[in-house]
Amino acid sequence: MFDTLKDILVDKLKVSPDLITAEATPEEIDLDSLAIVELSLVLQKELGIEVSDDELTEAETVGDIVRLMDERSARV
């Protein structure tokens, strides 16, 4: 799932791939509050995974976002 998220961040939000690690914070990969909403929409549109922007805002690292995605996709 980390690679899936990384692909989305790189392809859809044009985040620089070398910044993206499991430990990186949203701020470190240049995700501001607007980009968090974008990411929420992209995850739903591309993968059918529903994670709200509020939940994404709570995530402290990229790894946390991956865990949220894992949880939600398991439920589907």
Partner 1 sequence: MAATPGFEAAVTGLGMVTPAGVGTKENWSAVRAGASRAAVDPSLDPSPVRLACRVTGFDAGRLLGERRALRLDPFVHFALVAAAEALSDAGLDPATWDGARVGVVLGTADGGPGTVEAQHRVMLEEGGRWVSPLLLPMQLPNMLAGQLAIEYGCTGPNLVVATACASGATAIGTARDLLAADRCDVVLTGGSEAMLTPLLMSGFAQMGALSRRQDDPAAASRPFDADRDGFVAGEGAGVLVMERAADARARGAAVHGRIVGYGASADAHHMTKPRADGRGTEAAVRAALADAGLGPSAIGHVNAHGTATPLNDLVEGRMIKRVLPHDPKVTSTKGVTGHLLGASGAIEAIYTLLALKHGTVPPTANLTRLDDRIDINVCAREEPLDAEFALSNSFGFGGQNAVLVAAAP
Residue ranges in contact with partner 1 by CB under 8 A: 13-16, 30, 34, 37-38, 41, 45
CB of 54 to partner 1, least distance (A): 13
Please identify, using beta-carbon distances, which residue of 34 and 76 lies nearer to partner 1. 34
CB of 32 to partner 1, least distance (A): 9
Decide: 9 and 30 in contact? Cβ < 8 Å: no
CB of 45 to partner 1, least distance (A): 7
User: How far are the Cα atoms of 18, 19, 28, 69 from residue 44, in angstroms, in the given order?
Assistant: 25, 23, 23, 10
Helix axes 62-75 and 2-11, enclosed angle (nearest 10): 110
